[in-house]
Amino acid sequence: MKVALVGATGLVGGVMLKVLEERAFPVDDLLPVASAKSVGSTIRFCGKEVPVIGMEEAIARKPDIALFSAGGSTSLGWAPRFAEVGCTVIDNSSAWRMHADKKLIVPEINGHLLTPEDRIIANPNCSTIQLVMTLAPLHRAYQAKRVVVSTYQSVTGTGMKAVKQMNNERDGVSGEKAYPFPIDRNVIPRCDAFLDNGYTKEEMKVVHETHKILDPAIRVTCTAVRVPVTGGHSEAVNVEFARDFDLDEVRKLLREAPGILLLDDPANDEYPMPMLANGRDEVLVGRLRRDESQPNTLNLWVVADNLRKGAATNAVQIAEHLVRTGLLRAKASSAV
């Protein structure tokens, strides 16, 4: 198995390397790919130093699979080039998510939709993944009608520059800024650029991607906020169902759902927090309670490591699904 990792020197790329190694994904030949300034450097994988190469060299070596985490413009320009040589691309950017002919995949929910013809597969937004992972079993049981979600997003979602800004502010050091305001001891009600409707791109990603993955009939609204933490994104979720629910049954559904870890014992201070999600692949769910202001409505608190299940792990899980189901071999053989 020849695996290219595009964006290998970035924050998510580094986590992808770690996840590939931890999960013992069958990598026989790793091709770390990065920008020209990083070519010739090395990254460490499975105890070995592996040289970083450029795009053209990676394409010439015809990888079986390419994990992309290098931004939307890079993905739009280069993912089709990899696909042309028989490579299956799993893209972590927003570039392909809403294309009608591209699948937007969370393996636990809709991995079964993948076919041998899917050469470019989109990885959802980090905030969307943890939301739909939680909603999916409940939507099947009770039919979600409306979802109100407020996110509390880690600075790691912005990247290394944002983490450095926060740490510099905590240490009283001047430096380059990722945000127009201080982030330490502050919250910024903006994730990504503002759109004409007053929402940010991040907020609308959650809306559109939830529709595409789960059900376009669900009414979704989102407020996305950046908070001075690392470790994971948190979400306060309010969901109205068409049918009434029993809280014990809701807990059972979540407890049995793949990829979900239920932490819901407030009396003993057991509930999800970023410090608990950090480094984990599960989506943590807790603070379950009825919304007493209207019927058939549930409040939940959802936390996940945005660099793992929100990005790297989900992408690797897609690759694992392709290998497990034989889809990757089918694509490779059809390309010869």
Q: What is the pLDDT of residue 51?
A: 96
Residue 111: inside a domain: no
Domain count within the chain: 2
Nearest to 96 by CA among 83, 115, 84, 79: 79
Is 222 marked active-site?
no
Q: Are residues 88 and 160 in the same domain?
A: no
Q: Helix 201-213 vs helix 126-142: angle between axes, to the nearest 10 degrees?
A: 40
Residue 240: inside a domain: yes
Residue 122: inside a domain: no
Domain of 301 in residue numbering reads as: 127-305
101: helix, strand or coil? coil
Q: What is the pLDDT of residue 330?
A: 45
Query: Could you report the average pLDDT of every consecutive run of 10 residues in the chain (336 residues)?
Result: 95 95 96 93 95 96 96 95 97 96 98 96 98 98 98 96 97 96 98 98 98 98 98 98 98 98 98 98 98 98 98 98 84 41
Residue 17: inside a domain: yes
Q: What is the pLDDT of residue 329?
A: 59
Q: Active-site residue among 126, 208, 222, 321? A: 126
Say what the pTM is.
0.95
Is 99 marked active-site?
no
Per the CB < 8 A criterion, the answer to whether 239 and 146 are in contact is yes
Q: Are residues 58 and 163 in the same domain?
A: no
Q: Are residues 269 and 212 in the same domain?
A: yes
Q: What is the pLDDT of residue 301?
A: 98
Q: Active-site residue among 139, 191, 208, 233? A: 233
Q: Are residues 294 and 155 in the same domain?
A: yes
Q: Are residues 325 and 248 in the same domain?
A: no
Q: What is the pLDDT of residue 333?
A: 42
Q: What is the pLDDT of residue 328?
A: 81
Q: How far apart are CA 156 and CA 29, in angstroms?
A: 29
